[in-house]
Amino acid sequence: MNTNRRVAVIGLGSMGGAMASTLHTAGWDVIGFDPSEGARATAAEGGITTTASLEDLAGTPYAVLSLPSAAIVEATVPTLLATPGVVAIVDTTTSEPGTSKAMAELAASKDAAFVDAPVSGGRAGAATGTLSAFVGGTEAALASAEPVLQALTGGNFAHIGGPGSGNVVKLLNNVLAAANLVSVGEALGVAKAYGIDPAVAAESISNASGGSKVSANMYPNWVLSGTHDSGFSLGLMARDAALAIDVAREIGEQPELLAAAAGQWQEALALLGPAADFTEIARTVAPAVTPAGAPAAGDAA
């Protein structure tokens, strides 16, 4: 066994499970952990070795984190570093810059590397090794983590700056996407009110200066179709949008337009619940353009 190709994947949900599969296919010796027995079973069906104990992964040369929150990252990293041998920890979680800075310092004190590398590309990108990543860390940490980043992104990652900077830019990316989902929905709602087919309006706008991935792909594929099956939850997007505003305000910035959009996501969260697909924001800002329609009483249950 080549110990330099051993990688632990912590968090085997939609994204983590797909990344574990990609690494396995690329020839890495993968062992996965998730507190959910169901997630472990699904990963095992795909040929991934799993463990029910995080402690079993201490000292594994490489680790990929795909976790729900910064707090869980903070609780996980010390366990991985408890045994010597860690080369690099790649945290793909949409986390907080302060946490990443602290974890990078802790890793460095153990002669290991930690990079914050939140990803974009969804489960399809995770399953095919075509994610993009926003990487924060020192040059030395990036060099240590690069073999894993290459496997997950095919080289499509940007070194943003020092520890925590990847988190900042990923949060800004997500709040911009959140604002665009609101604005495109409102625009298509106006088109619909004028008797214009929202699909025709979206296609036309997508070929002009107002176009975006939201108008070209998200609305046609997941909203206008009524499928709302992107695989990314409304709860996570609402969290990311709110966190982006918090990060901005921590340094004295007041992004008013983005904050207003983030507020609309909190309203949608209250109406639809965290498990709803994130594209269901359209049901609250432009219910006429999606077959799913406006939220009904009990949708958030």
DSSP 226: S
Distance CA 183, CA 165 (A): 27
Q: Pick the catalytic residue: 101, 170, 192, 213?
A: 170
Whether 192 is a known active-site residue: answer: no
Degrees to nearest 5, angle at CA 165 with 159 and 166 = 60
Length of the chain, in residues: 301
Q: Which element (helix H / strand E) includes 159?
A: strand 157-161
Q: The tokens 């974009």 sit on which residue?
A: 120
Widest distance between CA atoms in the chain: 66
DSSP single-letter state for residue 174: H
Token pair listed for 252:
């004295």
Within a 13 Å sphere around the CA of 273, how many CA atoms are in the beta-carbon half?
Answer: 9
Cα–chain center distance at 270? 21
Instruction: List, by residue number, the catalytic residues.
Output: 170
